Structure 1
Amino acid sequence: MRKFRTLLGATLAGACALTAMPGLAAAAPATAEQTAGLADTTGAYYTLAPARLMDTREGLGAPKAKIGPQSKVDLQVTGRGGVPTSGVGAVVLNVTITGPTSDSFVTAYPAGEARPDASSVNFAKGWLGSNNVTVKIGAGGQVSIYNRNGYTDVVVDVVGFYALDNSMVDRNGGQYEWFPPSRVFDTRTDPEGKPAAKDILEYSLDFGPEYNPHIKTLVFNLTAVSPTAAGYLTAWSGATSRPVSSTVNYGANVNVPNLAFVETTPCTGTEPYQWCTPGAPKFKIYTHASAHIVVDLVGDVDDGYSEWGMRFSPMSPTRIVDSRINQGIVGAVGPGATAKVTAPSEILTPDTDTLVMNVTAVKPTNNTVLIVWPADFDGLPKPGTSNLNPYANQIVSNAVLGVIGPNNQFNVYNHSGSTNVVADVVGTFYYPAPVAAGLAAQPDRSAPEVTGSTHR
């Protein structure tokens, strides 16, 4: 049963460039669920501090060499970077491509399985970029990383995992809930101007005193806009020093988005100028080069408190859209046009709500923007956000958490020119049966209000 979910009266605040690391606030008293963990952990999400699992430039996790044409490496994931040795169904990775010698794509898939007709990151010769990739765990706790053409270095960071079964009861897992995509931070409208190289911005979202203690992770599309040089963004909770990992990798003078699962830490109430609400979740973003930063909120992970929480069911990558062959969408999507996609029934259950996808724009005729949102939900128009920002004649992909509407459909909008679209599903979010059976009418919830944002 799919229901329309909006923000629970969230308010927003922001600040940045704090030189002292903030202390951790004492959270509100833990509920029994927080203390004991979820009653059943199957499909629950577990956030991790970002950790590097593979870097072919350094010989970490793989031979110290670029991955060659039609070649793969099997990456050990379980037992590393905070990922448990067993009971893991899928991992959430950030996969970065650097220094490719040819136009190509990389596919991440469960080790031991036949390579699927799907892609995880698409790139051009000389490209620098990354993509959020969810991968089902394969044989021996490994995932395979395949490169199609030429030679390329690949860097892999892990940010979280999903439980395969009910063996994670001693850990503090959570459930995902979606929000209508909402632009919450945009430095282009900040009077402080464009963040400088090596700036650290700090932001907070206030969900109210009832929900703040339960928020563990925020899920958003993070975009670097008009960077002055090649570099990267790193998003993390801010409770520790900046990790040796990246969230968005970008070249000079391009707009590059990436989906991000970012762990949060509570505001202490002692921050300079008291810019955030005590107990509200906050996080940091570091930019290596001067770049504008845009944050589009799409969901969160809480500790199981919300009735709208969902669990994840992993699957091997499955292509459901390829407009080049009229699969899912007939022909290229034209300027200002919206295509409606029906999710195949074989990948759905009655409680499926969201498709975890890799969506690819294939050689648009103009620079454009692609937006994905659920179809046929009353009161849910096309959002003022973006999922992909491809340039003309590029092949660009990004992870999308695609909510399906009451008719099992989602919309894909193309802003300019025409472009072919490809979508590969790597898993689904579903409402646990007792929750799905008990969901009632839509709640009355308001959109967020921006209350402030500064940086220096």
Structure 2
Amino acid sequence: TNISAISGNASATVSWSAPSFDGGTGIVYYVVTPSPSSPTVTVAGNVTSAVVTGLTNGTAYTFTVVALTKVGWTGSAPSNAITPSAWIGQFRALAPARILDTRNNIGGIGTQIRGGQTVNVPVVGTGGVPASGVAAVVLNITVTGAGGQGYLTLFPTGSPQPASSSINYKAWDTVANLVQAPVGTGGDTSIYVGGAAVNVIADVVGYYVSDLSTGNGLYHPLTPARIADTRAGIGLPVPPGPNQSEDLQVTGRGGVPASGVTGAILNLTATSPTTAGWLSVSPSGSGLGTSNLNFSAGQTIANRVVTGVGPDGKVTVHNGAGTVQVVVDVVGWFSDASASAGTTGRYLGLLPTRVLDTRLGIGGIGTLSTGQTLVSIAGLGGIPPGGVAAVIMNLTATNGTAPGDFLSLYPSDVAFPNTSDINFSSGESRANHAVSRLGGDGKVALYNATGRVDAIIDVEGYYSN
């Protein structure tokens, strides 16, 4: 009874409740059968869920469950219909929702994730994400409470674990990074911890739907542009104080149109905070969101934000504690339902693949000096040589020599836009999600402000052109 199904990539997770009568001898086993027909799945009688694989993406399925007892069979009515999806879709914004917090047993995990451990986290059918037709989810991942250094890798459940990282942390860090995660087997994403055990928090802020019949949620990249800097009174008039919110106009600024916009990709930077705290960004009018960026007193740190905009084209920036200077750069926007259907701007997810590591000479480049360096992206790591509007990446800076430095990532065919993507100090390893249009030569530019630093780029997907 109570059969429910959640779609994944060529798969589904089917859950049910045990029948009210088990024949007096208990359930021997269950058989889960998809319709249209596909291989059945058999599980033990003490199990009430199963992952069904071998399904066809784009085909609608229902499922029935039959229980075998020692006195006979007991069958169920069909489940809800679901449609498995490949890693292609168009963006839908959500009000941020917490779906995992190992400190509080949210998401079914109530302890730190140990080094060397992989956990599977349900992401489809939670936090406002539909149970069907989802290609990928957009997550803000935060780590906290580690007793030593380490890293996290997110990847689709059922896929090989990539040799890349999503977040780097050191002892007692609280640090966040955005991840656009393709949906894995059974609608899950997998999290691997390398190094010290750590608490992990996941907030879902949007998803990519496999319905491509409209123009809603197509991505339009921009040359990065600064739309807020409280130090200069741009966009946000004053630095927000403790528990204070300010609305920021996104539409009509920095190359974003005045209308026809459902969301945007921003880079959020906190600098000169008077105390440890956090910032959140959410669509205006949607209420207080979950944290996007955590910082300590005096720190300068950035995180990528993918967010919807409110009906007035604004987002709300909320500061949790103290007073902090806030900088916001916009790198692109998503169309709303008024747009015509098209093929440009669709999301296509990839398994994370390393295309640059200056420590090892991957990408043909050594440690970065001050100034601009061009990096080849097209044709590498699953990115096609053409037909790409923008590339989704994870950018990591490590082994920096300057006490305060930043990297900026932007298309190779424009001048340095006076924006930043990742801020770091000497000896730190910091990562930030990055999205950029490619130059006509298939490259991006990396600008290092001062000193020397090693840079790592893992490609995670792209938007079509």
Q: TM-score, normalised by structure 2?
A: 0.76
Tell me what 2:429 maps to: 395
Alpha-carbon distance between aligned partners in 1 of 2:137 and 2:243, rounded to the nearest angstrom: 29
Alpha-carbon distance between aligned partners in 1 of 2:158 and 2:310, rounded to the nearest angstrom: 38
Alpha-carbon distance between aligned partners in 2 of 1:382 and 1:62, rounded to the nearest angstrom: 45
Q: Does residue 430 of structure 2 align to residue 372 of structure 1?
A: no
Residues 329 and 198 (structure 1), Cα distance of their counterparts in 2 relative to 1, 3 Å cut: farther
Residues 202 and 115 (structure 1), Cα distance of their counterparts in 2 relative to 1, 3 Å cut: same
Q: Does residue 317 of structure 2 align to residue 285 of structure 1?
A: yes
Question: Contact 1:329–1:341 (CA<8 Å) still a contact in 2?
Answer: no
Task: Kindly state the Cα deviation for residue 206 of structure 1 after the two structures are TM-superposed.
Answer: 4.4
Task: Kindly state the Cα deviation for residue 188 of structure 1 after the two structures are TM-superposed.
Answer: 0.7
In angstroms, what is the RMSD of aligned CA positions?
A: 2.2
Tell me what 2:447 maps to: 413
Tell me what 1:15 maps to: none
Alpha-carbon distance between aligned partners in 1 of 2:132 and 2:442, rounded to the nearest angstrom: 33
- Matching of residues 57-206 of structure 1 within 5 Å: 57-164=103-210, 166=212, 173-190=216-233, 193-206=238-251
Alpha-carbon distance between aligned partners in 2 of 1:142 and 1:52, rounded to the nearest angstrom: 15
Deviations 1:298-326 (A, max 9, x none): 11111262889511100111111111110
Task: Kindly state the Cα deviation for residue 231 of structure 1 after the two structures are TM-superposed.
Answer: 1.4
Secondary structure in 1 aligned to 2:195?
coil
Unaligned runs of 5+ in 2: 1-86
- Structure 2 counterpart of 1:188, which letter? R
Residues 373 and 177 (structure 1), Cα distance of their counterparts in 2 relative to 1, 3 Å cut: same
Question: Contact 1:177–1:308 (CA<8 Å) still a contact in 2?
Answer: no
Task: Kindly state the Cα deviation for residue 385 of structure 1 after the two structures are TM-superposed.
Answer: 0.3
Alpha-carbon distance between aligned partners in 1 of 2:343 and 2:351, rounded to the nearest angstrom: 26
Question: Contact 1:320–1:343 (CA<8 Å) still a contact in 2?
Answer: no
Question: Contact 2:396–2:457 (CA<8 Å) still a contact in 1?
Answer: yes
Q: Please, which of 315, 328, 351 is the counterpart of residue 350 of structure 2? A: 315
Secondary structure in 1 aligned to 2:368?
coil
Please state which structure has a larger fraction of its residues in strand: 2
Tell me what 1:222 maps to: 268
Residues 42 and 134 (structure 1), Cα distance of their counterparts in 2 relative to 1, 3 Å cut: closer
Residues 65 and 172 (structure 1), Cα distance of their counterparts in 2 relative to 1, 3 Å cut: farther
Deviations 1:169-198 (A, max 9, x none): 6x9831110111011110011296432111
Secondary structure in 2 aligned to 1:161?
strand
Question: Contact 2:134–2:210 (CA<8 Å) still a contact in 1?
Answer: yes
Task: Kindly state the Cα deviation for residue 126 of structure 1 after the two structures are TM-superposed.
Answer: 1.0
Deviations 1:396-449 (A, max 9, x none): 000000221111111111111111111111111112xxxxxxxxxxxxxxxxxx
Question: Contact 2:372–2:445 (CA<8 Å) still a contact in 1?
Answer: no
Task: Kindly state the Cα deviation for residue 384 of structure 1 after the two structures are TM-superposed.
Answer: 0.6
Alpha-carbon distance between aligned partners in 2 of 1:314 and 1:201, rounded to the nearest angstrom: 34
Secondary structure in 1 aligned to 2:231?
helix
Q: Does residue 416 of structure 2 align to residue 382 of structure 1?
A: yes
Task: Kindly state the Cα deviation for residue 42 of structure 1 after the two structures are TM-superposed.
Answer: 5.1
Secondary structure in 2 aligned to 1:101?
coil
Secondary structure in 2 aligned to 1:266?
coil
Alpha-carbon distance between aligned partners in 1 of 2:370 and 2:438, rounded to the nearest angstrom: 23
Secondary structure in 2 aligned to 1:383?
coil
Q: Does residue 380 of structure 2 align to residue 362 of structure 1?
A: no
Alpha-carbon distance between aligned partners in 1 of 2:238 and 2:252, rounded to the nearest angstrom: 27
Alpha-carbon distance between aligned partners in 1 of 2:306 and 2:391, rounded to the nearest angstrom: 16
- Structure 2 counterpart of 1:108, which letter? L
Alpha-carbon distance between aligned partners in 1 of 2:238 and 2:435, rounded to the nearest angstrom: 31
Residues 42 and 338 (structure 1), Cα distance of their counterparts in 2 relative to 1, 3 Å cut: closer
Secondary structure in 1 aligned to 2:155?
strand
Q: Does residue 92 of structure 2 align to residue 43 of structure 1?
A: no
Task: Kindly state the Cα deviation for residue 349 of structure 1 after the two structures are TM-superposed.
Answer: 5.0
Tell me what 1:324 maps to: 359
- Structure 2 counterpart of 1:285, which letter? V
Tell me what 2:18 maps to: none
Higher relative contact order (CA 8 A, sep 6+): 1
Q: Does residue 282 of structure 2 align to residue 241 of structure 1?
A: no
Secondary structure in 2 aligned to 1:80?
coil
Question: Contact 1:329–1:339 (CA<8 Å) still a contact in 2?
Answer: no
Alpha-carbon distance between aligned partners in 1 of 2:387 and 2:379, rounded to the nearest angstrom: 14
Deviations 1:278-303 (A, max 9, x none): xxx11110011211110101111112
Alpha-carbon distance between aligned partners in 2 of 1:252 and 1:213, rounded to the nearest angstrom: 38
Alpha-carbon distance between aligned partners in 2 of 1:148 and 1:423, rounded to the nearest angstrom: 18
Alpha-carbon distance between aligned partners in 2 of 1:319 and 1:206, rounded to the nearest angstrom: 34
- Structure 2 counterpart of 1:183, which letter? R
Deviations 1:203-258 (A, max 9, x none): 113439x9534111121101111212221111111212213x11111122111111
